[in-house]
Amino acid sequence: MIRLNPKYAEVHTCRGHSRNKSGLVTKAIEDFDEALRQNPRDADAFVNRGLAREAIEEWGGAIDDFSAAIAVTPKSADALSNRARLRAQCDDAKFRDGAKAVADATLACELTQWKNPHHLEVFGAAHAEAGDFAAAVRWQTKALDDADYAKQHGAAAKRRLKAYRKRGEI
């Protein structure tokens, strides 16, 4: 498809997403860069480039990309949730910010009417980073109430829940 229409930004975004999933992160970033050259308002390209940058520990670049996606599409629950998750769980403490993570995760959950278990999980993680382990337990438990989420992420989600309970001595 790219050979047929190399100026079609969405094709570069799709190939970048596929390459990122396959572990070809540098090539994926090149695709997202091209998509953004062609369409600088492609929120999906920003989100996906942010995820790719996160995979190679370019934390600041990832946050910048999630922020750019939000600037283009303020009601992007995925961009808000990804930025919140990074601010709540980043391996580099200088990029963590519990209060900002809670604010972003709150908006993501509101936009999805508190029904998306992945956003609820991030909301719990944001509360944990902010030191509110009771809320972290509540929201991680709520995420686990979703059968599909529990089936796919149950083991890791239950470990997080156990850690939140231990930290909050709940």
Alpha-carbon span 2 to 107, nearest angstrom = 36
pTM for this model (two decimals): 0.90
Q: What is the pLDDT of residue 67?
A: 98
Which ranges in the chain are annotated with CATH 1.25.40.10? 1-74
CATH top-level class of 1-74: mainly alpha
Distances from the Cα of 117 to the Cαs of 32, 123, 144, 149, 158, in angstroms? 27, 10, 7, 7, 14
Residue 23 DSSP label? T
List the pLDDT tens digit at each of the 170 positions of the chain.
444 455 556 888 888 888 988 899 999 899 899 999 999 999 999 999 999 999 999 999 999 999 999 999 999 999 999 999 999 999 999 999 999 999 999 999 999 999 999 999 999 999 999 999 999 999 999 999 999 999 999 999 999 999 999 987 65
The domain made up of 81-170 is a member of CATH 1.10.3470: no
Helices marked H in the chain — which ranges? 9-21, 25-38, 43-55, 59-72, 77-89, 98-111, 117-129, 133-144, 147-168
